[in-house]
Amino acid sequence: MTSGLSESKVNPVNWITPYKVEVVQGNFVSKEQVELLKPGMARAQVREVLGTPLLASVFHENRWDYVFTLKRENTEPQSLRLTVYFKDDVLERFEGDTMPSEADFVAKLDTRRKFGKVPVLELTEEQLKAVEKKPAASAGATPVPPPVALPSTASYPPLESPAR
């Protein structure tokens, strides 16, 4: 009987999970950034649009690789790659994965739990009328006296205890 309860989503113990670190590596390149790339751009312009490449090899000096990986709990690891090729320090071509837009990527990052539909927090007309008809205070309750105003010359005890 207890084993069924412990596996249930209703059990509050299942709402608490240990924190697991997200592993983010590389440069995220958005669809909007890729759209700004045009053949004939200088290296400095490409770096300005995409940022510093993750991989710039001495053996492939005419090629920059932008790699992005994201590993999170309860999701498939994401891996995106964009390779930029230069000829005579000018952008010749680029190729890689289809990049998500910034808005799509941010939407994927939202991992908050969805607990269902949020209830409406408004009263209907009928509920408002029912509340208005009820007396403000019960008949047997005694009214609360107003607070007593202290004279302006009232003295207060010191905030600190006297020295011993």
The predicted pLDDT at position 112 comes to: 62
- Cα–Cα distance measured from residue 41 to residue 86, given in angstroms and rounded to the nearest whole number: 9
pLDDT in tens, 73-83: 777 788 889 99
- Cα–Cα distance measured from residue 74 to residue 16, given in angstroms and rounded to the nearest whole number: 15
Q: 3-state secondary structure string, the chain?
A: CHHHHHHCCCCHHHHCCCCCCCEEEECCCCHHHHHHCCCCCEHHHHHHHHCCCCEECCCCCCEEEEEEEEECCCCCCEEEEEEEEEECCEEEEEEECCCCCHHHHHHHHCCCCCCCCCCCCCCCHHHHHHHHHCCCCCCCCCCCCCCCCCCCCCCCCCCCCCCC
Contact 30, 105 (CB under 8 A): yes
pLDDT in tens, 4-13: 555 556 677 7
The predicted pLDDT at position 1 comes to: 47
Q: Mean pLDDT per segment of 10 residues, for the chain of length 164 residues?
A: 56 71 80 93 93 80 88 79 92 92 79 67 83 66 69 70 69
Domains annotated on the chain, with CATH:
20-103 (3.30.1450)
pLDDT in tens, 17-36: 677 777 778 888 899 999 99
Cβ atoms within 10 A of the Cβ of 99, count? 21
* Closest alpha carbon to 24 in 112, 108, 113: 108
The predicted pLDDT at position 73 comes to: 73
Alpha carbon 17 to its chain centroid, in Å, reads 18
pTM over 0.75: no
Ramachandran angles phi, psi of 50, nearest 5°: -100, -15
The predicted pLDDT at position 113 comes to: 61
